[in-house]
Structure 1
Amino acid sequence: MSLFSRYLIRHLFLGFSAAAGLLLPLFTTFNLIGELDDVNPDGYRWTQAVTVVLMTLPRTLIDLGPFIALLGGIVGLGQLSKSGELTAIRSTGCSIFKIAIVTLSAGVMLIVALGVIDEWIASPMQQQALQIKTRYNNHDTAGNILWARRGNEFVTVKSLDAHHQPEGIELFYYRADHSLQRYIYARTATISDNGAWRLEGVNQKEWTNGKEITETKESVMWSPLFAGMSLEELTLPGSSFSVKQLGHYISYLKRTGQPSLEFTLALWLKLGHPLLILAMILLAIPFTFSAPRAPGVGSRLAVGVIVGLLTYVCDQIIVNLGLLYSLNAQLITLGPPILLLAVALILVYRFDRQP
């Protein structure tokens, strides 16, 4: 790597740090305000809310990656442009295209760093934070939190107790003609070390030849349907899963014939995130060279914020429409970043061709 490349990458990472230092406290404050709205005197207190916000800081950093790339690129390149260093660099024969290549190299380094944080730091910490919130905010447990299917067998779990053991388990067994053959309700269940469930407080109903047979048992052993993940993890949103967890859970959902679009979207959003970061950092090139004699970077940052917000809003609209209408996950998650990257490359090419 040449001296010029190292110098440019160093300034870009200074810009990334400045952007993160500005955006992270701002969005953390917004997150804290949102968490404080959920505080109640009977469980979820402000100390837990602060803990949850602090534990989700890495996730906030990951989500802000495209904004950090764009604004950090504008700051880093803008300072070099303001001091005349970019002009001096170009006078040595260095083209805008080469500057863009070095900028993309810095973007790849940023992506690798954020990817490591996402997979091994942000995802586990976010899951722990959500589990803390659920534990202290368990007054709001409307609806069955878990369900699964194996052939004609369906199961729902109402809630988890303080020791993460299932409560309110319902089993439904259907015939080939979709009529209900057997129904089992268990008050609680204990999960053994080998993964088997001991259902306790069991009420069973079975319909045979038009007759209903009711039976009550103290306990029944049952082989669970759920994937090889903890029940607490399965109650969490797909956005909090790591790529490895998403891949494992999607395979399980497909194998058991359950809907997997939500988690497939979450997986492809994670895989498409690097493309969006590359597109955003590349957009910093047109911002820098469109007004190279501008006295400061404030106006460029303002426009950059607008572009970043519009990109985020459009991306969220497309993803939610895709989930609503069950569109192709790869198309709706990779399409917008690829389109934006193509636009950025075209702009870089046009500026590079200018005299």
Structure 2
Amino acid sequence: MNIFGRYLLRNIFIGFAAAAGLLIPLFTTFNLINELDDVSPAGYHWTQAVLVVLMTLPRTLIDLGPFIALLGGIVGLGIMSKNLELTAIRTVGYSIFRIAMVMLCAGVLLTAALGALDEWGASGLQQRALQLKNTAMAKDPDNTSTSNMLWARRDNQFVTVKTLDAQHQPVGVEIFTYNPDLSLDTYIFAKSATIQGDGSWLLRGVNQKKWANRKETVSTMATMTWRSIFTNMSLEELTMPGDSFSIRQLNRYIHYLENTGQPNNEFRIALWQKLGRPLLTLAMILLAIPFTFSAPRAPGMGSRLAVGVIVGLLTYISYQIVVNLGLLLSLNVPLTTLLPPAIILAIALALVYRFDKQH
């Protein structure tokens, strides 16, 4: 890459920094407002909410990657166009196509950096933030949430856990065992449990019901040992949403779900979305070319940025609609997650080719 390419690359990354500096504070404020809705005097404090928002900043940056690519490209090229630097670069033989290839290199570097941040930084921080929030909310006696945070199944046995305590031990364990005819054979409720070194659980405060010959037998025990069906992953990981996992964790979780006969489409989509996001980011950065060369003598970038924000939002919303429809209708996961970004990338390349021929 010659001096013109390096100069162009530097200005594009300046545009990325400007776009990130604009978007991250805005979306961080929105995240903080959402967290403050869960704050309570006896549980989740506002200082913890601020800490959770700060710990999820890398995840916010990754999610905003396509927006940063589009707006950063518009800003970087727009400044050069306004200062007539793009005109000077083109007079020495730099075509629009070559400019697009430099932008594509910038996009590859951006996606590689965001991918590394996702795998080795953002996922772990987001999970620790969620664990901090869940632990704080579990301490609130006024927390009336009735939804169980963890379910699992193996063969004819179903298990649900209400929550985890500060030591990440199960609280509120229910175990359902069914007969082949789907009638309930055994029901066990335990107030709490301790995970043993061999993987078994020591249940405490146990109430057990059994049904045989249409008769119900009820027994109460102080403790009871149960062979856990939760394997391969820690309970803290199993309670996390799919978008907080790294690629390694997603692969391990999908394998766990397959072994226990549970649906895994949600997590397969989360895995393939990590591959679709780089394609979407590359497509968005190439879409900055039409915004720049459609009106090269425009005095300001306000209107271009406004249109860029609209295009980015519409693209993001459309992509999420397609992904959720794929999950709802159980469509092919790679096709659902990769086809929309691939189509947008093809459209962006076609527009670059068209502007290169016209100019």
TM norm structure 2: 0.95
1:144 aligns with 2:148: yes
Q: Deviations over 1:4-41 (max 9, x none)?
A: 22211111111100100111111111111111122222
1:196 aligns with 2:196: no
Indicate the residue corresponding to 1:351 in structure 2. 355
Indicate the residue corresponding to 1:307 in structure 2. 311
- In structure 1, what is the Cα distance between the partners aligned to 2:170 and 2:37? 28
Q: Deviations over 1:189-243 (max 9, x none)?
A: 1112332211122222222333333333332222211232221221121111111
**Which moved further from structure 2: 128-137 or 317-326?**
317-326
Deviation at 1:99, TM superposition (A): 1.1
One-letter amino acid of the structure 1 residue matched with residue 182 of structure 2: H
Note if contact 1:141-1:159 (Cα within 8 Å) is conserved in structure 2. no
**Which moved further from structure 2: 310-319 or 345-354?**
310-319
Q: Deviations over 1:304-354 (max 9, x none)?
A: 111111111212222222222222222222121111111101100101111
Note if contact 2:135-2:164 (Cα within 8 Å) is conserved in structure 1. no
1:250 aligns with 2:244: no
Indicate the residue corresponding to 1:221 in structure 2. 225
- In structure 1, what is the Cα distance between the partners aligned to 2:5 and 2:342? 26
**Which moved further from structure 2: 258-267 or 107-116?**
258-267
- The one of 172, 179, 193 equivalent to 2:176 is 172
Q: Deviations over 1:153-173 (max 9, x none)?
A: 111111212221111211122
- In structure 1, what is the Cα distance between the partners aligned to 2:171 and 2:136? 17
- Structure 2 unaligned spans of 5+: none
Indicate the residue corresponding to 2:116 in structure 1. 116
Deviation at 1:140, TM superposition (A): 4.6
Indicate the residue corresponding to 1:336 in structure 2. 340
Deviation at 1:259, TM superposition (A): 1.1
- In structure 2, what is the Cα distance between the partners aligned to 1:237 and 1:246? 10
Secondary structure of 2:94 counterpart: coil
One-letter amino acid of the structure 2 residue matched with residue 267 of structure 1: L
**Which moved further from structure 2: 297-306 or 198-207?**
198-207
Indicate the residue corresponding to 2:33 in structure 1. 33
- Change over 3 Å in CA distance of 1:37–1:203 after alignment to 2: closer
Deviation at 1:281, TM superposition (A): 0.3
Indicate the residue corresponding to 1:131 in structure 2. 131
Deviation at 1:176, TM superposition (A): 1.7
One-letter amino acid of the structure 2 residue matched with residue 43 of structure 1: G
Note if contact 1:108-1:278 (Cα within 8 Å) is conserved in structure 2. yes
- In structure 2, what is the Cα distance between the partners aligned to 1:115 and 1:241? 12
One-letter amino acid of the structure 1 residue matched with residue 19 of structure 2: A
**Which moved further from structure 2: 197-206 or 342-351?**
197-206
Secondary structure of 1:212 counterpart: strand
- In structure 2, what is the Cα distance between the partners aligned to 1:227 and 1:111? 33
Indicate the residue corresponding to 1:77 in structure 2. 77
- In structure 2, what is the Cα distance between the partners aligned to 1:246 and 1:227? 15
- In structure 2, what is the Cα distance between the partners aligned to 1:273 and 1:251? 23
Identity among equivalent positions (%) equals 67
One-letter amino acid of the structure 1 residue matched with residue 358 of structure 2: Q
One-letter amino acid of the structure 2 residue matched with residue 11 of structure 1: N
- In structure 2, what is the Cα distance between the partners aligned to 1:190 and 1:73? 53
Indicate the residue corresponding to 1:273 in structure 2. 277
One-letter amino acid of the structure 2 residue matched with residue 133 of structure 1: K
- In structure 1, what is the Cα distance between the partners aligned to 2:317 and 2:187? 45
Note if contact 2:118-2:246 (Cα within 8 Å) is conserved in structure 1. yes
**Which moved further from structure 2: 27-36 or 318-327?**
318-327
One-letter amino acid of the structure 1 residue matched with residue 288 of structure 2: A
Note if contact 1:104-1:278 (Cα within 8 Å) is conserved in structure 2. yes
Note if contact 1:205-1:213 (Cα within 8 Å) is conserved in structure 2. yes
Secondary structure of 2:181 counterpart: coil
One-letter amino acid of the structure 1 residue matched with residue 229 of structure 2: L
- In structure 2, what is the Cα distance between the partners aligned to 1:31 and 1:170? 34
The CA RMSD measured in Å over matched residues stands at 1.5
Indicate the residue corresponding to 2:191 in structure 1. 187
Secondary structure of 2:287 counterpart: helix
- In structure 2, what is the Cα distance between the partners aligned to 1:107 and 1:140? 46
Secondary structure of 1:43 counterpart: coil
- In structure 2, what is the Cα distance between the partners aligned to 1:226 and 1:79? 55
One-letter amino acid of the structure 1 residue matched with residue 256 of structure 2: Y
One-letter amino acid of the structure 1 residue matched with residue 325 of structure 2: L
One-letter amino acid of the structure 1 residue matched with residue 16 of structure 2: F
- In structure 2, what is the Cα distance between the partners aligned to 1:140 and 1:133? 16
One-letter amino acid of the structure 1 residue matched with residue 294 of structure 2: S
